[in-house]
Chain A
């Protein structure tokens, strides 16, 4: 391996802020921090409206990742952590968010976030995260009514896609597009294990398959995997996808094809759904505590 080998799996960290809004004019400022297995997001809401967010890679230390995520969201806003009325932590590192007032599971947060992003008609949510995926049913308020998580296997997750990006030396953000550059859809690779799928992909490359065809086979396997998860809880429209893989049209469009359902498209970044849901819960929790006079 050369020393300056490019890391194709590495996606860029970024932040965003609503520049038309002045947070000082709002009443309640809340934050949601989603410390996931691969990425961490911080979302700041002002009066229940999205104001700023930041998306970073999760490091080995969850509290540090949470801090880093929030600092990025606060950048250039003039806001400090003390200006935030209530913080909810979520994600697998939810109990390790040092400044959180409460921890809520990412399942509840993704449903709440999806309800905000895609509207209250959303009933089925697929969260395709870094190391797991979840099929969630919710009601018109975004309250979870049923859910199912993948177990024993990380096929169908972001980490799997990163592994493949590195193997094929294709930037992870370009995988979706490239996977459609095939004459016809190849049969999917193994859909039960990331490592087996990687071995299988290596064998296909050795057989002379072009990268695009291997990617098509891999995206198809991933789509098949999560479609079966969705089918096991039942597909109720409307349907929305959250998490990093929602940005990969190679997987999304194949899921839609298998299920015969179109996922709702929105202007929002799918990766912040969990943190956004957490920030919205933070507002409700803050208001309830204020009403009780304990906040």
Chain B
């Protein structure tokens, strides 16, 4: 375990250097979004890749975090409490939703459908809140137009000390690194081991006396909290939150990041998110091909051609071309086993 943490530290240091140099190539405004998406991808990479929990609605927690922050910021002003609420509310919501699903022993497919439907409901509900009767405190939900004009993140205790621009980028970059290290630490802990064991063989773990339902619920909630963090950071970056955050397209994107980056790793989904989000940004500059179409095509091709994820597949191919051929079949989704997993 100690070796793993040392490895994680190394990855964090390398990433820190890359994140520090990146502004020389890409503007920090765009980079900030990429980093936020990286955190969001990490949340699903954790629960899906390591917990085997297929959530089709990670966008629900992302949007919930952003809306919570925006609503709280309008009501409170100073951003510290809204920031914390933006993490806590998605955590609690994920706990409630997860408890319901896992204690109900719903299978993968039903899990996917329920999380998808919940996300869709958020989307449709938020879209239908244009009327003045939809108010929380002094914050109008605003329907399709979303909520603009809330207090963005400030230095704790100093409401006029806005954090923006380059400083905001470095803040999100540090947040990403901290989340990465915390998740790595979590996975190296007994809780993480048992979570992976549950993914591998839930019955066996139960027969050893562990309560798989409670543990899955907790892991799912942690994933929700991280997605919520990404949402609060997004809210301050965009300075507006809209129902689009809850859209199926957003949920699909998170899944695509994880598939492309590879399940069973943490760095994979983060890189997948950053590359694809940048690609989308670049594609957004032209109007010949529709963005959604490209996204859909990528998802189909990945599932058909590289079910293990692009990064792990490329990694294996590279290693194979440098090493002697290995024995052993290819593994199926989700994720690599702990024994042979990449410690990244």
Physical interaction between A and B: no
Q: Which B residues contact A (CB, under 8 angstroms)?
A: none
Residues on A lying within 8 angstroms of B by beta carbon are none
